[in-house]
Structure 1
Amino acid sequence: MASKSSSSIKNEDTYDALRDKGYSKEKSARIANAQANDSQSPSVKGGKASPYESWTKEELYERAQELEIDGRSRMSKSELIEALRG
């Protein structure tokens, strides 16, 4: 993904707000660009899943496995959360 200063970010204010909330650069850019497009109306938040902190380590590991996150077997619960939020 291009850097923030690139012209690929269509809504800088939304991008900055999402980055301040801890969203990844890629996700922030996708949401900001989609909100800048009149034919799309994305929400800032995703589905209604519970926060990762309430998941068990096993559940986090299974999700990391689905997403093919490297090194997941050596990660602690907090490291799995960080990797999943990527």
Structure 2
Amino acid sequence: MPRAQIKDEKKYQKLRDKGESKEKAARIANAQAGQGSSKVGRKGGKSPSYDDWTKEDLLKRAREIGIEGRSSMNKSQLVKALRDH
């Protein structure tokens, strides 16, 4: 039985079957129904490569995600550790 707030019931059901929450499945199904699936998948910002970050910024990010031994790492080691995490 179709729900009024769900614009693409088939997509919603596929997402629910994959284990997505009701809210997330509804958000995705409605966004794709309104904009098309190719546009919805391309949303989001661009982040610069870790190679372009300063060592200070890399250390801050490593601290945020809990990388051990970060204080003794050089810039290239920090970049590798963040990419591997």
Task: Indicate the TM-score class for this superposition, using the shorter chain for normalisation.
Answer: 0.3 to 0.5
Structure (1 or 2) with the larger CA radius of gyration = 2
Q: Which protein, 1 or 2, shows the higher relative CO under an 8 Å CA cutoff with sep ≥ 6? A: 1
- Specify which structure has the higher proportion of helix: 2
TM-score if structure 2 supplies the norm length? 0.48
